[in-house]
Amino acid sequence: MSERRIIPLQPAPTRASAGSTIRTPQLSAPPPLSLYVHFPWCVKKCPYCDFNSHTARSADGSLPQQAWLDAVIADLEAALPQVWGRRVHSIFIGGGTPSLMTATILDNLLAALRMRLPLDPLAEITLEANPGTVEADRFRDFRAAGVNRLSIGVQSFDDGMLARLGRIHDSTQARRAIDIAQQHFERINLDLMYALPEQTLEGAMADLETGLATGVSHLSCYHLTLEPNTPFAHSPPPLPDDDQSADMQDAIEARLASAGFRHYETSAFARPGQECRHNLNYWTFGDYLGLGPGAHGKLSSHSGIVREMRHKHPGLYLEAAARGDFIQEQRDVGGTELPFEFMMNALRLTDGVPHTLFAERTGLPLGTIEPELILARDRGLLDTAHGVLKPTEQGRRFLNDLLQVFLRD
């Protein structure tokens, strides 16, 4: 589980829209650009995880880190014409477990990125880390390489829960990792999960209180989800029912609010000014170039918006690098898809987005979805007042229902 995770929406049938015909989008200028780099390996795959992560397969358990780095650099060089001259405002290195890479590999990666892209001097550079002893001992070197924000996948401070989740760290290691991180990083996120196997409300709140006591400025609190094609989906553990899970969510949100954290996005809570700028670019429909196995990207130009995905399996990605062929899937995002894609991101934000952002990021006038906006507002799911599009409290609770309004054939 990771901070950047997009909570999957329940599949919904496509429906014909009552809206007017959507014309070809015309962007006046591309949005801000971020960079995502995927490091695909973990020590062990967790039974709930559906991310593109893989355990080491070599006989000695080592990872082909240099080959991965060489491929990522070649991938970037092949993609440069798509982003030429555009400043990068944030970098997120996710996985997998990026903190498994050596400090030398990370330093060389960031140096290669800086040499080839105009990086904002104040760019947010986040690295995902697990609390294992080996990774924590590298935190100082990660900071020296240029990482200025760390996201630590704690998930729970209860040793029994960690064992049931298949995590390889214990609560003592988690606390030690946080202590070490705070010696080197001002900006730290902790990932926590709730609605865990047989978890009680008291247990969920104990985890939260421990997280708050660390003094970090950002918390990501996720409901455990049984993702398809995972061991937990095939053999589900006993989980709290919907009412118990909802009680946990309500209590977590209330406690964080009382502690001065702003609930700015579906699963993200931050002290003022400590929001994750990289993720905010996702939710405001900004652009991002994805590098590494299975990395996704969204890139805009005057001619439209393109989504692409790199070859997913690390072995196939490394093989493709030898051919200079990194893209597994690429498609133009048509005008009929854009309203839903924009809303699927923007409506995760508690405060919503300005009306004007829709046209700026999709190239479509807001009037093209006026019937849908009215329908969502009349159902009590969407607030359109004061020049802002934002979910109501009911809309946040039933986000799938709200987004279905914007589906088009």
Using 70 as the pLDDT threshold, list the residues of the chain that sit under it: 1-25, 56-61, 133, 409
Residue 283 near residue 348, CB atoms below 8 Å? yes
- The predicted-structure confidence for 153-166, as pLDDT tens digits, reads as follows 999 999 999 999 99
Distance CA 307, CA 300 (A): 9
| pLDDT at residue 303 in the model | 79
In terms of phi and psi (left: phi > 0; alpha: psi -120 to 50; beta: otherwise), the region of 304 is left
Structure tokens given for 196: 């865990």
Secondary structure of residue 60 in the 3-state scheme: coil
Structure tokens given for 255: 């406690």
Structure tokens given for 46: 């967790």
Mean pLDDT rounded to a whole number for the chain: 91
Give the residues across from 42 on adjacent strands.
55
Structure tokens given for 105: 């590999």
| pLDDT at residue 132 in the model | 82
| pLDDT at residue 134 in the model | 72
Distance CA 297, CA 313 (A): 17
All structural domains of the chain: 1-25+336-409 (1.10.10), 33-281 (3.20.20.70)
Residue 194 near residue 250, CB atoms below 8 Å? no
Closest CA to 204 of 237, 167, 253: 253
Structure tokens given for 362: 């999709």
For residue 198, how many other CB atoms are within 10 A of its CB? 12
| pLDDT at residue 10 in the model | 34
Type of residue found at 236: P
Closest CA to 79 of 324, 316, 392: 324
| pLDDT at residue 276 in the model | 98
| pLDDT at residue 28 in the model | 74
Closest CA to 295 of 270, 275, 274, 312: 312
Phi–psi pair at 297, nearest 5 degrees: -140, 155
Residue 290 near residue 308, CB atoms below 8 Å? yes
Give the residues across from 398 on adjacent strands.
none
% of residues, the chain, pLDDT over 90? 82
